[in-house]
């Protein structure tokens, strides 16, 4: 795994165990974010430099990520290269808080499938979006992605 930008700060980090293989789990992150994160997704992460844009309509914003590490089927690291996070009642600085952050996805085989570990390097309690984003990752990563890879019904964001 790449060195963290913020090694001495509490970055968001979590792991899940899923029934899917590491290769299948890797593909869910690289090419199927529309199935578990947000239905409005453009692009895929198949090679270094590829970009994916995750959009949260109608007005919650978007994030664009660029693949900086692709080690099939073990690791994906993506950097946020564009962002506009809109949250009513929050300071305007929240819009760009993910810019430059890294998301590391690690896939390790287990006896029953895969352990996926995710660290969002730069998403820390010091950010205005911490509570909102932590809740979001807890839902989309821990619940929706897990359901998707376990053969259950995922719950990606969709426009109302």
63: its two tokens: 């994030």
Taking the model in full, what pTM does it have? 0.92
The pLDDT of residue 149 is 98
The pLDDT of residue 92 is 82
The pLDDT of residue 159 is 77
**pLDDT grade for 1, boundaries at 50, 70 and 90:** very low
Whether the bond into 58 is cis, omega within 30 of 0: yes
Is residue 7 scored above 60 in pLDDT?
no
Domain architecture of the chain: domains with CATH = 12-149 (3.30.530.20)
State the DSSP string of 67-104. Answer: EEEEETTTEEEEEEEEEEE--TTS-GGGGGTTTT-EEE
């Amino acid at each position: 795994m790449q060195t963290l930008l913020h090694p001495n700060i509490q970055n968001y980090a979590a792991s899940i165990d899923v029934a899917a293989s590491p290769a299948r789990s890797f593909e869910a992150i690289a090419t199927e974010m529309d199935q578990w994160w947000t239905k409005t997704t453009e692009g895929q992460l198949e090679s270094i430099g590829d970009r994916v844009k995750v959009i949260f309509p109608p007005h919650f914003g978007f994030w664009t990520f660029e693949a900086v590490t692709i080690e099939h089927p073990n690791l994906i690291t993506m950097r946020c290269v564009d962002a506009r996070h809109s949250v009513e009642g929050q300071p305007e600085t929240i819009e760009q808080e993910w810019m430059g952050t890294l998301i590391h996805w690690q896939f390790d085989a287990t006896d029953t499938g895969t352990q996926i570990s995710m660290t969002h390097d730069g998403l820390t309690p010091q950010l205005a979006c911490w509570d909102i984003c932590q809740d979001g990752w807890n839902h989309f990563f821990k619940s929706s992605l897990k359901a998707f890879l376990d053969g259950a019904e995922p719950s990606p964001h969709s426009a109302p």
